[in-house]
Amino acid sequence: MKKLIVILFIAVSISASAQDRYTEGMSKAMQLWGEQKITEASNLFERIAMAEPDNWLPYYYASLVNTTASFGERDEAKLTQQLEKAKEFVDVAKNISPENPEILILEAMINTAWIAYDGETYGMTLSGKNTKLYNEAMQLAPNNPRVIFSKAEWDMGSARYFGKDTTPYCEDVQRALELFDATESKEVPFYPNWGEDRAKQVLAQCQS
């Protein structure tokens, strides 16, 4: 019995130590990202992912870092490198956690970064894919604020492109803002919680 207790204690200690390393590593990667050290943050998220093969979050953030850095990037070689890496990471995350609305949104964001870079080349092929991704995400998580807001912003962009009124989607942005505090997961460390600040900016534009 005493031997069993010792073994259990060692197992718990190892688990706690691994969890501490994970938390420390993720926090450091987030800090690097906040400092706009994109390559360093991406590499650290990837290293964490290698040590956490069943955890989709490090791969998700490695993809998100490269995706967000690609908006506004005009160097085609750099953009391609970042977005191909982002797609590689998001595909791994999707295999670990299928039917995950957070991952579907990120996949759509990668497509949007390509469209933002060259709408004439990528708009026709990727717009339909994005509509499908957002609709799938809405079916999976109709009360997820990132899903609601991201779909609304995509719909706004499409409406502007075709010269249509964007006002109907402002209600969706407002609804997303109301859900950010109410529905965000606090139980899973480092669960995605971005989007509220951007939603506030878009809603202010709606009201101006």
Identify the structural domains of the chain with CATH numbers, from first to last.
1-103 (1.25.40.10)
Residue 184: per-residue pLDDT: 66
Query: For the whole prediction, is pTM greater than 0.85?
Result: yes
Residue 183: per-residue pLDDT: 65
**CA distance readout (Å), 64 to 1, 11, 41, 45, 75:** 48, 33, 11, 10, 19
Q: Residue 140: is it exposed, middle or buried by C-beta count within 10 angstroms (0-12/13-18/19+)?
A: middle
* Per-residue pLDDT tens over the stretch 7-37: 333 333 334 445 689 999 999 999 999 999 9
Dist. CA 196–CA 161, nearest whole Å:
24
Contact 58, 45 (CB under 8 A): yes
